């Protein structure tokens, strides 16, 4: 389950776990050190008291002054406490035979009683007392009883006089330790409470570029078409994630270009197939149509018909002529024998469409940069220009802009208007016959334009956005020079 989580959750959770482990480890090591330091301090205090008592007891033992020895060992019992880090429970002075010489608790440890009989179960302590007859004080911890004993030999002029045994609780320092431990835990919790939100924010910021890139990559294969690169808000920088985002954008642009090329190829192939089919059907219709028109013409010249028959024949003739015009539009053929394109041919086209612009109340902005004759079939170029201008005038709201120029060995025609936006669905079938977005017309103008441009080895493109639609035609000139 954790493996399938998003990085926006994985990174914060791992960071939080790391902070928790670090806090536990630091607090544990700190409390471990404090525990041993307090335990060591208690042992050092007990050793210091033992040394002082041993020094003061030497002359008393030499004089066999039992009462003064008792007073000497009773004083530490009254001054010890939790504030000093240790609490002395009992103090005994043993003679050289390990018998009680004097004790802080005479009833429990009567004089001349063998120490081994008083504490028969403390074999470890008895062993240390019997063997430790010189040197520094030695601590003995009895885990079962929870007490520790400081065993100090009393030696005067290399003569062993006895042993001082001081018992104190091993857990005397624990209240102080618990107080320090709780304060350490509280401090750790406060620091963790500050660090955890900061770590979540930092981890979220660090994971954000990756999640943005992941969601962007998911969008690429989610729909039927590739999204635009501008739709993505990716992290941009010179680090690894920024370079990855830049590479993804470049890949998306390449894919968009490839998709556009594939779409253009599909549209060209479809239009070519439709053109071949349409031309074949038009030829098949054109042959019997010509025969019917000839028959009507012969009947009108040589036949005697009453007025009703003449009216019927006229209706048939008009209908057949309309069909002939449609068929003629579908059978576009380049008439290369027409004269080259002159400046006057282009200006005549403007004159022809001015009346339509006036009827539509649209302003025609005209820019003609052609100043010399071009080796292009004037009839076909004029037909292309007229079709584009008429379509633009019909679709316009206020103005139509036409720019004609010669650049890089090609004639370039640009016609744009401020009419209704053309959607992508309509663009895919825009140059097919009978594809029209208006109630009037047959939808053959752009079809004829496309066929003429294709025959002249040119290219026609269309761009549409709200408030502006533009058709661009590029016709190479060198091929017809």
Q: What are the pLDDT digits (tens) for 241-261?
A: 777 777 777 887 888 778 777
Across 118-143, b (16+ Cβ under 10 Å) vs e yields ebeebeebbebbeebeeeebbbbebe
Give per-residue pLDDT as tens, 328-381: 655 655 444 568 888 988 888 888 888 888 888 889 999 999 989 898 888 788
Q: Which residue has the tokens 């304060």?
A: 183
For the full predicted model, state whether its pTM sits above 0.95: no
CA distances from 158 to 133, 138, 151, 155 (A): 10, 18, 18, 6
How far apart are alpha carbons 79 and 81 in whole angstroms? 7
Q: Quick one: residue 18, left, alpha or beta (phi over 0 = left, psi -120 to 50 = alpha)? A: alpha
**Domains, the chain, ordered by start:** 2-176 (3.30.450.20), 334-480 (3.30.565.10)
Closest Cα partner for 454 from 270, 263, 178?
A: 270
Structure confidence at residue 479 (pLDDT): 45
How far apart are alpha carbons 160 and 152 in whole angstroms? 11
How far apart are alpha carbons 481 and 479 in whole angstroms? 6
CA distances from 23 to 18, 32, 92, 211, 334 (A): 8, 14, 46, 30, 86
Confidence grade of residue 268 (pLDDT, cut at 50, 70, 90): low
Give per-residue pLDDT as tens, 1-47: 566 677 667 777 888 888 888 888 888 898 888 888 888 888 888 88
Give per-residue pLDDT as tens, 386-420: 889 998 998 898 999 999 999 888 999 999 999 88
């Amino acid at each position: 389950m954790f493996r399938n989580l998003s990085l926006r959750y994985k990174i914060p959770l791992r960071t939080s776990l790391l902070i928790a482990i670090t806090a536990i480890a630091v607090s544990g090591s700190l409390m471990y050190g404090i525990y041993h330091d307090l335990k060591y301090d208690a042992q050092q205090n007990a050793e210091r008291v033992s040394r002082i008592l041993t020094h003061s007891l030497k002359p008393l033992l030499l004089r066999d002054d039992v009462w003064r020895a008792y007073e000497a060992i009773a004083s530490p019992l009254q001054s010890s406490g939790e504030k000093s880090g240790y609490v002395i429970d009992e103090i005994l002075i043993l003679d050289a035979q390990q018998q009680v010489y004097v004790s802080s608790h005479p009833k429990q440890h009567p004089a001349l009683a063998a120490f081994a009989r008083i504490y028969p179960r403390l074999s470890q302590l008895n062993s240390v007392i019997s063997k430790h007859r010189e040197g520094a004080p030695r601590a003995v911890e009895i885990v079962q009883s929870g007490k520790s004993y400081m065993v100090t030999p009393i030696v005067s002029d290399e003569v062993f006089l006895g042993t001082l045994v001081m018992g104190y609780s091993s857990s005397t320092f624990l209240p102080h330790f618990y107080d320090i431990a709780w304060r350490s835990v509280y401090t750790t919790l406060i620091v963790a409470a500050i660090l955890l939100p900061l770590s979540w924010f930092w981890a979220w910021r660090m994971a954000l570029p990756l999640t943005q890139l992941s969601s962007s990559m998911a969008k690429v294969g989610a729909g039927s078409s590739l999204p635009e690169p501008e739709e993505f808000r990716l992290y941009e920088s010179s680090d690894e994630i920024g370079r990855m985002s830049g590479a993804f954008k470049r890949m998306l642009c390449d894919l968009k270009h490839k998709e556009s090329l594939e779409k253009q190829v599909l549209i060209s192939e479809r239009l070519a197939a439709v053109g071949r089919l349409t031309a074949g059907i038009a030829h098949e219709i054109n042959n019997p149509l010509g025969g019917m028109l000839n028959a009507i013409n012969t009947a009108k010249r040589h036949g005697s018909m009453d007025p009703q028959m003449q009216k019927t024949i006229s209706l048939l003739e008009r209908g057949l002529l309309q069909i002939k015009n449609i068929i003629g539009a579908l059978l576009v053929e380049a008439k290369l024998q027409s004269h080259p394109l002159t400046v006057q041919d282009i200006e005549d086209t403007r004159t022809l469409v001015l009346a339509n612009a006036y009827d539509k109340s649209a302003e025609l902005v005209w820019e003609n940069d052609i100043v010399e004759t071009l080796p292009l079939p004037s009839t076909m170029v004029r037909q292309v220009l007229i079709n584009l201008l008429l379509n633009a005038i019909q679709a316009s709201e206020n103005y139509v802009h036409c720019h004609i120029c010669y650049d890089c060995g090609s004639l370039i025609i640009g016609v744009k208007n401020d009419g209704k936006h053309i959607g992508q669905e309509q663009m895919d079938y825009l140059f097919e016959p009978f594809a029209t977005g208006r109630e009037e017309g047959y939808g053959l103008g752009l079809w004829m334009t496309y066929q003429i441009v294709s025959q002249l080895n040119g290219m026609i493109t269309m761009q549409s956005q709200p408030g502006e639609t533009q058709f661009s035609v590029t016709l190479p000139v060198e091929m017809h020079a």
